[in-house]
């Protein structure tokens, strides 16, 4: 913990050289790399601590904070205190917190976690890494719709291993939502129902988090909202997608650490 605290303090003190100027490509890559850091952890090889001291990381953090503000500590973040896996996925799709009566369908989750969209995001991250951090092997690989992470060798004198990260798939995302929802009800999750949808009920009076329940058949048969149709028609830029992934993955990590 002491080493982690020192690294955080060092990053907070670091300032870019006065008058520094960067190309548009450098800035795009900096944002992409910084926002991809939540996908790296202490088991990836190389790990995030090899990237944090670099100029490209510092520039990415600077640009991100200019657009979205400084990161609020988890215990002081009122948004995180309201957040659940279901509400985080809703925000990932709709760019807003859910309100009472809002519906989250499997199709919503699948739309932005499809292999094609994942390729759009992760291949850009890998390309940015190869342009700006060519002295380090990229710890991510995306092949045939699947994400692989380069993990540290299990023993000395062994090569690093490539391990698939199945958590990015839409069915895995939905499974996580169902598990968290059923856990809150004291039930087990045996099979994820990809035809299911959930309805948000507003904030809980007990813990302040977004509540939800399974949608009825009538609710699931309701026509798709104009909001989602517009999102599908307008598309998403890579900058928007990198910001979405950063928020979602960060929330998932923090909810795992601090609990839902």
The CA-based diameter of the chain, rounded to the nearest angstrom, is: 60
**DSSP-assigned letters across all residues of the chain:** -HHHHHHHHHHHH--PPTT----HHHHHHHHHHHHHGGG--TTBSS-GGGTTTSHHHHHHHHHHHHHH-SPPPGGG-HHHHH--HHHHHHHHHHSS---TT-EEEHHHHHHHSSHHHHHHHHHHHHHHHHHH-TTS--SEEEETTEEEEEEPPSSTTPPPEEEEEGGGSHHHHHHHHHHHHHHHTT----S--TT-EEEEEEE-TTT-PEEEEEPPHHHHTSPPPHHHHHHHHH---HHHHHHHHHHHHHHHHHHHHH--
Low-confidence ranges of the chain (pLDDT < 70): 1-20, 184-195, 257-260
**pLDDT given for residue 14 in this prediction:** 46
User: For residue 55, how many other CB atoms are within 10 A of its CB?
Assistant: 15
End-to-end CA distance of the chain: 23
**pLDDT given for residue 15 in this prediction:** 44
- In the block, tokens 């004291």 appear at 186
132 within 8 A of 29, measured Cβ to Cβ: yes
């Amino acid at each position: 913990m002491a080493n982690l605290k020192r690294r955080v303090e060092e990053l907070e003190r670091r300032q870019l050289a006065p008058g520094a100027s960067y190309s548009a490509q450098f800035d795009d890559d900096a944002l992409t790399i910084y926002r991809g850091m939540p996908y790296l952890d202490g088991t990836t090889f190389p790990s995030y601590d090899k990237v944090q001291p670099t100029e490209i990381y510092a520039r990415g953090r600077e640009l991100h904070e200019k657009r979205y503000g400084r990161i609020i500590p988890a215990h002081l973040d009122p948004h995180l205190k309201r957040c659940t896996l279901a509400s985080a996925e809703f925000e990932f799709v709709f760019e807003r917190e859910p309100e009472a009566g809002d519906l989250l369908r499997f199709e919503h989750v699948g739309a932005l976690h499809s292999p094609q969209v994942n390729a759009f995001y992760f291949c850009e991250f890998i390309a940015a890494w190869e342009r700006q951090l060519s002295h380090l092997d990229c710890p991510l690989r995306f092949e045939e719709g699947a994400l692989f992470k380069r993990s540290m060798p299990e023993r000395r004198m062994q090569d690093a291993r490539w391990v698939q990260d199945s958590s990015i798939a839409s069915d895995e995302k939905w499974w996580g939502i169902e598990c968290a929802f059923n856990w809150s009800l004291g039930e087990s999750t045996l099979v994820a129902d990809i035809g299911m949808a959930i309805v948000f009920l507003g904030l809980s009076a007990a813990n302040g988090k977004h509540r939800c329940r399974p949608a009825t058949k009538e609710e699931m048969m309701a026509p798709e909202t104009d909001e989602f149709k517009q999102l599908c028609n307008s598309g998403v830029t890579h900058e928007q997608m990198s910001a979405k992934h950063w928020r979602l993955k960060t929330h998932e990590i923090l909810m795992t650490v601090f609990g839902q």
